[in-house]
Structure 1
Amino acid sequence: MNLISSPHDFFVVLCALTFLGIFSMAGIYLYWGYTRLEEILGHVKNCKAITESRFYLHMGPWGRLVMVGMVAGFLARPTSYIKKGILDANEIDTFPQPFKKRLTLSHYIVWGLGGSMLLSVSAMKAIELFA
């Protein structure tokens, strides 16, 4: 007997692995939120989007997670935010390159995990519908 005996089981396992990845990324964001958030915010202190979102810092762990995710998103796709005047191009350019790469990579991993979850759930629903 196979470990994965049907396509439905395959997508259930894929969904479980995706959840594991999502919780791992949340843990990484929380770790960065408690150990490196002041450093991160120090590099983007003049960005309008960051200064207007500082209230998240008073919301506990979830607020720190949101702030790290927000900065990661801004670093991953800064051009439209710079054009709107929400971000300061100088600060984005002077952000430390190794940490900028980590934050950007983590942003794309989170989006990939979200897409994987959407694909898994959609495939499971389609299998249930047509089976």
Structure 2
Amino acid sequence: MSSAAFVIGYLCGAVLLGMIVWIGVCLHLAYTRMDEVLGYLQNCSVVMNRAPLRHGGPWGKLLLVGGISGIVTFPGFYLNRGGVSADDLSSLPPALKRKLMILQWSVWGLFAAMAVFVTLYRFIKAYHL
């Protein structure tokens, strides 16, 4: 195996480590501030449909945080369909909103980085670089 393939392998490992850290941050947010977040978004039907997930253990809490961060990051999609209250989104504290948006964009970045590294690794293996 070439040194380029080793470097790509280590980069994939770093991305996996980043994903584990991301899961930890999401679970910390879910266990410490989920009642507060749900209190701010109580008039949003999309969020309230997902609220029972908070009783679903760590996996349910992770899904709930991911869903809420997606709603906060891309509100236009939900506002057009009437599933989210604009007043509730504006009442969310800016620090909490920023944290949820950072979580959403960071997971997209981690998945994109992993896709790029896996593709690059396959390219290196196919052409024996």
Length-normalised TM-score, structure 2: 0.93
Percentage of pairs with the same residue: 31
Are 1:77 and 2:84 counterparts? no
The one-letter code sitting in structure 1 at the alignment partner of 2:76 is: T
Are 1:124 and 2:84 counterparts? no
The one-letter code sitting in structure 1 at the alignment partner of 2:111 is: G
Contact 2:38 2:51 in 1 (8 A): no
The one-letter code sitting in structure 1 at the alignment partner of 2:15 is: T
Deviations 1:54-105 (Å, cap 9, x if unpaired)? 2312311111111111111111110111001111111111110111111101
Runs (5+) with no aligned partner, structure 1:
none
The residue aligned with 1:52 is 49
The residue aligned with 1:105 is 102
The one-letter code sitting in structure 1 at the alignment partner of 2:85 is: D
What SS is found at the alignment partner of 2:115? helix
Misfit runs of 4+, over 6 Å: none
The root-mean-square deviation of aligned C-alpha atoms, in Å, is: 1.1
Number of corresponding residues: 127
Deviations 1:90-124 (Å, cap 9, x if unpaired)? 11111101111111011111110110011111111
- Within 5 A, what are the aligned runs for 1:7-46? 7-46=4-43
Runs (5+) with no aligned partner, structure 2:
none
The structure with the greater share of residues assigned to helix is 2
C-alpha distance in 1 between matches for 2:33 and 2:53? 16
C-alpha distance in 2 between matches for 1:9 and 1:94? 48
Length-normalised TM-score, structure 1: 0.92
Contact 2:40 2:88 in 1 (8 A): yes
